[in-house]
Amino acid sequence: MPQSPELSLQRQTIRNHIRRQRRALDVSQQAAAAAALAQRLLADPRITAADSLALFLSFDGELDTRPLVEALWQRNKRVYLPALHPFSPGHLLFLRYEADTPLVVNRLHISEPRLDVTRLLPLARLDILFTPLVAFDARGQRLGMGGGFYDRTLRHWRRDAGFYPIGLAHDCQQVDAIPVEPWDIPLPEIFTPSRHWRW
């Protein structure tokens, strides 16, 4: 599918702008945002009922998922993290994450669990897929870091079965409209520290 250069330029401009905005949040703003979000999510019955949840380790000013991970562990939930697929470019694997799981830094400078096939979870067995994003709009369209990793993962999502995706973001990551590419899959739900969006 040929990409329109104007559209990819618009998307890159939004990416750069919002990444700068979220990196500008200071430590106390980040801590307040993380606590507010964890509190909201832990009050949601679907989270309470879930057994296996995929999170992501925050970087680049992303909403800090640490407090949520800790709270989920305390509630005996199984937590998974994405890892770059070792030989299928652009694809993610999901590996079990516990307090003593060895982490390695991947080529995109993000920590991920060391590859161990015994700790892999097929997507179909995941209950909730918390999804990182750079920008979102009021229709649930998301723009990521530009690798297409979550676009490829979200292709397997069906409204009536399997894992359910929930986007996590700071309020400042909302934009008027994301210029959409054919492969983009809108999220059914996004939580920010002050709002809950559901489509």
Ligand X SMILES: Nc1ncnc2c1ncn2[C@@H]1O[C@H](COP(=O)(O)OP(=O)(O)OP(=O)(O)O)[C@@H](O)[C@H]1O
Ligand Y SMILES: Nc1nc2c(c(=O)[nH]1)N(C=O)[C@@H](CNc1ccc(C(=O)N[C@@H](CCC(=O)O)C(=O)O)cc1)CN2
Question: In the complex, which residues of this chain contact ligand Y (CB under 6 A)?
Answer: 56-59, 62, 82, 92, 108-110, 132, 144-147, 149-150
Check residue 19 for interaction with ligand X (CB under 6 A): no
Residue 102, burial from CB neighbour count under 10 angstroms (0-12, 13-18, 19+): exposed
Check residue 149 for interaction with ligand X (CB under 6 A): yes
Q: 93 forms bridges with which residues in the sheet? A: 83
* DSSP H/E element including 11: helix 5-23
* Binding residues for ligand X, total number by CB under 6 A: 15
Residue 10, burial from CB neighbour count under 10 angstroms (0-12, 13-18, 19+): middle
Residues 6+ apart with CB under 8 A from 30: 61, 63, 64
Cβ distance to ligand X smaller for residue 121 or 180:
180
Q: Summarize the annotated binding site for substrate as residue ranges.
A: 57, 62
The least distance separating ligand Y from the CB of residue 81, rounded to whole angstroms, comes to 8
Check residue 91 for interaction with ligand X (CB under 6 A): no
Check residue 151 for interaction with ligand X (CB under 6 A): yes
Check residue 148 for interaction with ligand X (CB under 6 A): yes
Q: How far apart are CA 104 and CA 145, in angstroms?
A: 20
Check residue 152 for interaction with ligand X (CB under 6 A): yes
The least distance separating ligand Y from the CB of residue 113, rounded to whole angstroms, comes to 12
* DSSP H/E element including 150: helix 149-154
Among 145, 172, 175, 180, binds ligand X (CB under 6 A): 145
For ligand X, the binding residues (CB under 6 A) are: 90, 143-152, 155, 181, 183-184
